[in-house]
Chains A and B, each alone.
Chain A
Amino acid sequence: MPQKSSRSRLAALAVCAGAVVGANQVHASELVFWSVWNEPEPQAVALRKIMSAYSQKHPETSFKVVWNGRQNQTKLRGALQAGIPVDLMDADADQLAGGLQMDGLGYDLTGELTGETKSAFLPGVLDLYAVKGHYIQFPYIYNTVNFWYNKDLLKKVGGSVPATFDELLSLCRTTRKAGKDALVIEGNVGFYNVLYFSNYLERLKGSGAVVKAFEDKSGAGWSDPAVLAAAKASRAVWDAGCIAADAPGFQYPAGQQTIAQGDTLGELVASWLPTELSESTGKDFSWGAFNFPAVADGKGKATDLEVGLLSFMVLKNSAHPKEAASFLNDVIGEDSQKILVAEGGVGVPRRGVAWPAALADGQTAAANATALSPFGGGLTTAYPEFTSNVLHPEFNKMFLGKTTPEEFVSTLVAKTKEYWDSHK
């Protein structure tokens, strides 16, 4: 009898232990994360630390990371086709918006984000890629589009930060007199060069003007005089001697290297420039940034900003969407954002977290932003094919002097009509 009792107790204990183990199995989750970074990159190091800290706070959650690099989303396409489970991924926000998000493959995070999370973001960031109020992307790295320049060289040439477009052209002349070039471009990077056009058009017509012009299916949206004015203003930077005559031959990153060499004052580009040039410039390089200046009679404000974000996305078919969303709530936390700044050397979207010193002017621009639009005015995100095949190459031709602003505008009108006729 005692034996029988002992056996019963053992059986009960075993059942209880099994239940406990079972419960652990149910709650423990391994988040499979495919990343846009390569493992040795500082941003990847920062993410590793953030994940590690999260796993310490939440022992039931672990991470399995695949460091894919820049082709992450394309590689993920193959994985999805093959049925490989992935919970979480990150990529350039524009890429995500035109890829997984456009195909409806992102998990709707709206109900998973806490009030604290939503209010932590700098103005407009979380909403920029929201679809009808639903959050599909979760931005965690913030790049601002500004003129990034060498503060010391600006002093040396006797210039000052321009508040208007005319002052910018005047600064070019001052810089030229001092034997330097005010601006540089990369001849083969259409999506950098088009920033002159998109920013000027948005200063004239307000944020979102580029997409709005394209969405007139007759093509007439581009016939607005503001479009021609923006095209002519883009050419004006050449006419005013802002950019060296040999610059069309610079193939990325040859152009930006001239800033590090002290030949050029700055470049219209995003806040990743100081990081990209850090090896050439050294730590003591005095970086500054100013917004695309105001234009006469413009509806847009000089504080409106184009941005390049990096976002996380939880996949719709994730086995652990709530756990992944919980992690994202942690990513925007102060500790995680500070790790991204310190280890990754990047700007972050959380209010009140200081960006790296070289990016301080970018942070000021982000904090004061009155309206945000994606890189290049948002056409890349909304209509990538048109942007890739028409806007960027046609603009580059005009910008580099192979066609006139009038020809550029008439091409946009014709190609836009053609596009919409074939997308009825």
Chain B
Amino acid sequence: MRRRMIVAFLAPAVGLYTVFLVAPAIQAFYLSLFQTSGFGDQTVWLGLGNYVKLWSDTVFWRSLYNMAIIMFVGGVFIFGLAFVFTMLLNSGMWGKKLFRALIFMPNIIAVVAITTFWSFVFMPRYGLLTSFLKELGLASLATTAWTAPQNVFFSMLVGLVWISTGFFTILILAGADKIPTDMFEAARLEGASNLQIFTQITIPMMWDVIIITLVLWATQAIKMVEFPYAFGGPNIDQNLYTPGIYLYIMGFGQREPVYALGYATAIGVVLFVLTVLAIVAIRILLRRDRVEF
């Protein structure tokens, strides 16, 4: 009876999940074995041909490299800043709620608006950063073209770190807020510094939250499209390509009418595999005994 009840309650969710997620994923994998533009019924069976082509596609590798930089370099800055903010906000400082709201604010603004703001910051000649550097008398830095192809990726990354830090700070703060306050009080009575409290109490006691935020960041970084794409504009430079953007360029006919839907789907399948691998790796590498409180 109990088993029947479980099946009955699970069936709708499993059914929807199968129809709207599992089946399309399988169909996508099947589509990735063909050469097709998606317009007509003409498809050419390639087997693993799209994947073989991907393996030797320098643009795809470039996009993977960018993705890795976003994930690791961006991740270090985002989580570094998020932990610093968490530490500061939990140190009993005045105006915690106000600062928490300010840090989170970029997340409630549309990505396009945020990227427009950042493009004004970095714009040569009339941009905010250029004007600021000129005021400081740093003429050589002021003439740097921050959005020129060789610099545009890292300019974009600055904006991305800025917008993402708030989101992850809020998640980590929520985890830290759950830790019983008597532990912090006891530590302070024992003479622990803020840094000691953070590393010896806060981090271990919210380890599960940290793993979840890392998984969230990894999946975001792997799927990253909106921010770099909006930053680079519709005529996006290859230096800003992520695999997701490359998928879009190859499958959806932007300025150049490239409609390689099978190839684009193969990129999507690779992204799916990468996401699963990243989650498994984070789970395995960061596995620790659960701390109870």
Contact = CB atoms under 8 A, between A and B. Distances in A.
B232 A251 contact: yes
Given A73-B253, A188-B235, A385-B260, A103 B42 contact: yes
Nearest to B261: A77
Contact of A248 (B149, B236, B256, B257): B149
Contacts of B122: 249
Interface string B247-264: 001101111111110000
Size category of the binding interface on chain B: 35 or more
Nearest to A257: B126
A251 B233 contact: yes
A248 B42 contact: no
Contacts of B42: 103
A94 B259 contact: no
B39 A99 contact: yes
B12 interface: no
A250 interface: yes
A81 B148 contact: no
B257 A380 contact: yes
A122 interface: no
A420 interface: no
A187 B253 contact: no
For B150, B152, B255, the residue with the greatest tally of chain A CB atoms inside 10 Å of its CB is: B255
A351 to B, nearest CB: 29
B257 A250 contact: no
A98 B258 contact: yes
B150 A388 contact: no
B190 to A, nearest CB: 54
Contact of A396 (B39, B237, B250, B253): B237
Contact of B147 (A97, A187, A189): A187
Interface residues of A, number: 49
A131 to B, nearest CB: 15
A41 B283 CA distance: 51
A67 B59 CA distance: 34
B212 interface: no
A191 interface: yes
A188 B236 contact: yes
A381 interface: yes
Contact of A99 (B148, B150, B257): B257
B149 A188 contact: yes
B148 A400 contact: yes
A245 B139 CA distance: 14
B119 to A, nearest CB: 6
Given A98-B256, A100-B39, A191-B255, A246 B143 contact: yes
Nearest to A375: B255
A104 interface: yes
Contacts of A248: 145, 148-149
Contacts of B260: 385
A171 to B, nearest CB: 22
B38 interface: yes
Contacts of B150: 402
Given A191-B235, A249-B146, 19 more contacts: A77-B38, A77-B39, A95-B257, A97-B257, A98-B258, A98-B259, A103-B39, A105-B39, A187-B148, A187-B237, A188-B147, A248-B145, A248-B148, A249-B122, A252-B233, A385-B256, A387-B256, A400-B148, A422-B53
Interface of A: 71, 73-74, 77, 80-81, 94-100, 102-105, 186-192, 244-252, 254, 258, 380-381, 384-385, 387-389, 392-393, 396-397, 400, 402, 422
29 contacts: A71-B252, A73-B253, A73-B257, A77-B259, A95-B257, A99-B259, A100-B39, A103-B37, A103-B39, A103-B42, A104-B40, A105-B39, A105-B40, A187-B145, A187-B149, A188-B152, A188-B236, A191-B256, A246-B124, A247-B145, A249-B144, A251-B147, A251-B152, A252-B234, A384-B256, A385-B258, A388-B254, A393-B238, A400-B148
